[in-house]
C-alpha cells in the first residue's frame, strides 16, 4: 500500500482523522461517502498488529451492517470473522462459576485483517490515507497538524482516533479530569497460543477474581486461542499473566505476547473542543465493566461523522456540541452504571467476592447478556 494517496497533493482537508482503528475508519468511511475531502493519517503500515481479543458482539455486527452494509454472513465468507458462538463461561480465579447462553452469537476476528478490510472500504469511498506518518504536534488555533516527516496538514475538523496515548487529546485545550484519566488507564497483556494448549475450547471464558482490579480471558479463534489479562494492576501485569497461564496449566507454547495500555474507566464525558473531536480509545470509550471497545469505537466514529455532517449542512450548529451531547446520551449513562457495578464487585475480596458472584450469577448472566449484546444496563 502506498504511503500517501495518489488522489491529491493538497494539504488542506475538510476533515483530518488521526488513527486508523475502527473509530477512525468508521468516521472516515461515512465522511468520504458524503463527498467530503477527508484524510486519515496513521503512524503504522497496514496491516499492523494490535493487542485485542477480537471479540465482536451482536451490537457490533449490527453497526457494521448499518454503516458498511456488510452482514455477518458476508464477513464469514471473506474469512474476516470466525464461526458464531452462543455461550461463554464465567470463572472465579480459575474455578467455574456458571455457563451462560446468549440469544445472539458472538464472533471473533483478527484486528490486523479487520482494520485493513475497513481501511480499504473507506478508500473505495474516496478517503485519502497517509500511512507510516506520525503526528507530532497540533496547532489547535488553526487546526493544523505537523508530522514527523515535516508535513503540515490543515483540516476544518480534526478527529482524534489515535488511541489511549492520543497526541490529539494531549494537545486539546479542553478540561477533563487528568488525574482520573491516569488513575484508570490500565494495561492488557495477551498471548497467542496453539489451539491444543487447552482441552475445553467450545466456549470463551471470562475469569474474575484472578486480578484485584481486572480480569482474565480465554478466547478461542479458528486455529489458535488468545489468552490474556487486563486491568489496573499496572506494575505486576506480566507476573499476573504468567500466573494465569500456570493456573490454567497452559504450556508456554506462546507464538507471541503483546501488551498495551487500555482505557479502563477513564472515559471522557464531553470529548470535544470546538472542531476537534475524540473517538474510541482516545476518548476512553471502553466499557469499564466488560472491557469491550470495538463497538464503542465504531459507534463514536459514527456519531462524530454525523455531527460534522450536520454542522456542514447547517452552520448554526456546532459539531463539537452535537457530538458531546450524543456521547452523553448514548454511551456515558451506561458507562456510569457499569462503573457502579464494578466498584461494588471490587469492594469485596476473596471468599466474599466469590460468594457475591455465586449469589448473583443467575441475575448477572441475564443483565450481562443485555449489556454485552445490546449495550445497555439502564434497566438494572
pLDDT per residue as tens digits for the range 332-364: 999 999 899 888 888 887 777 777 777 766 666
pLDDT score for 196: 73
Q: Quick one: what percent of the chain has pLDDT higher than 70?
A: 90
Query: Among 66-70, 184-188, 362-366, which stretch is predicted with the lowest mean pLDDT?
Result: 362-366
Least confident of 41-45, 217-221, 280-284: 217-221
The model's pTM: 0.92
Higher pLDDT, 211 or 330: 330
How many other C-beta atoms are found inside a 10 Å radius of the C-beta of residue 35?
10
Q: Chain-wide mean pLDDT for the chain?
A: 88
What mean pLDDT comes out for the span 310-337? Answer: 94
Statement: residue 9 has pLDDT above 60:
no
* Per-residue pLDDT at 2: 46
Give the residue carrying C-alpha cell 489451539: 195
Mean pLDDT for the stretch of residues 280-301: 95
| pLDDT for residue 1 | 43
Tell me the average pLDDT across 53-72: 94
| Residue-level pLDDT at 380 | 45
Segment among 3-17, 23-37, 150-164, 285-299 with least mean pLDDT: 3-17
Q: Which residues fall within 8 angstroms of residue 249, CB to CB, at 6 or more apart?
A: none
Q: Which is it for the CA torsion 197, 202, 206, 208, positive or negative?
A: negative
Residue 210 has pLDDT above 70, yes or no: yes
Does residue 278 carry a pLDDT above 50? Answer: yes
**pLDDT score of 364:** 60
Domains and CATH numbers, the chain: 12-50+112-181+265-336 (3.50.50.60)
Amino acid at each position: 500500500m502506498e504511503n500517501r494517496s495518489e488522489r491529491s497533493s493538497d494539504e488542506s482537508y475538510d476533515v483530518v482523522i488521526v488513527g486508523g482503528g475502527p473509530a477512525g475508519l468508521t468516521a472516515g468511511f461515512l465522511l468520504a461517502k458524503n463527498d467530503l475531502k477527508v484524510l486519515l493519517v496513521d503512524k503504522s503500515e497496514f496491516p499492523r498488529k494490535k493487542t485485542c481479543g477480537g471479540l465482536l458482539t451482536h451490537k457490533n455486527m449490527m453497526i457494521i451492517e448499518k454503516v458498511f452494509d456488510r452482514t455477518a454472513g458476508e464477513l464469514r465468507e471473506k474469512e474476516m470473522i470466525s464461526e458464531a458462538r452462543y455461550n461463554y463461561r464465567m470463572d472465579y480465579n480459575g474455578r467455574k462459576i456458571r455457563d451462560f447462553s446468549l440469544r445472539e452469537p458472538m464472533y471473533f476476528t483478527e484486528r490486523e485483517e479487520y482494520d485493513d478490510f475497513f481501511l480499504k472500504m473507506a478508500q473505495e469511498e474516496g478517503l485519502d490515507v497517509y500511512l507510516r506518518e506520525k503526528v507530532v504536534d497540533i496547532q489547535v488555533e488553526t487546526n493544523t497538524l505537523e508530522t514527523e516527516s515535516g508535513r503540515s496538514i490543515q483540516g476544518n475538523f480534526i478527529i482524534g482516533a489515535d488511541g489511549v496515548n492520543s497526541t490529539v487529546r494531549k494537545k486539546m485545550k479542553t478540561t477533563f479530569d487528568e488525574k482520573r484519566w491516569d488513575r484508570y488507564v490500565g494495561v492488557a497483556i495477551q498471548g497467542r497460543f496453539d489451539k491444543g494448549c487447552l482441552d475445553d475450547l467450545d466456549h470463551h471464558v471470562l475469569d474474575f477474581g484472578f486480578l484485584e482490579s481486572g480480569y482474565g480471558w480465554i478466547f478461542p479463534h479458528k486455529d489458535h486461542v488468545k489468552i490474556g489479562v487486563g486491568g489496573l494492576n499496572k506494575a505486576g501485569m506480566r507476573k499476573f499473566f504468567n500466573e494465569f497461564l500456570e493456573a490454567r496449566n497452559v504450556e508456554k507454547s506462546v507464538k507471541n505476547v503483546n501488551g498495551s495500555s487500555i482505557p479502563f474507566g477513564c472515559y471522557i464525558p464531553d470529548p470535544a473542543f470546538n472542531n476537534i473531536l475524540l473517538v474510541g480509545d482516545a476518548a476512553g470509550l471502553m466499557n469499564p465493566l466488560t472491557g469491550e471497545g470495538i463497538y464503542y469505537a465504531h459507534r463514536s466514529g459514527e456519531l462524530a461523522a454525523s455531527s460534522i455532517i450536520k454542522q456542514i449542512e447547517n452552520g448554526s450548529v456546532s459539531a463539537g456540541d452535537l457530538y458531546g451531547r450524543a456521547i452523553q446520551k448514548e454511551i456515558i449513562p451506561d458507562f456510569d452504571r457499569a462503573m457502579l457495578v464494578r466498584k461494588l464487585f471490587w469492594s469485596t475480596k476473596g471468599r466474599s467476592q466469590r460468594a457475591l458472584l455465586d449469589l448473583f450469577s443467575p441475575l448477572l448472566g441475564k443483565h450481562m447478556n443485555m449489556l454485552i449484546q445490546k449495550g445497555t444496563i439502564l434497566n438494572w
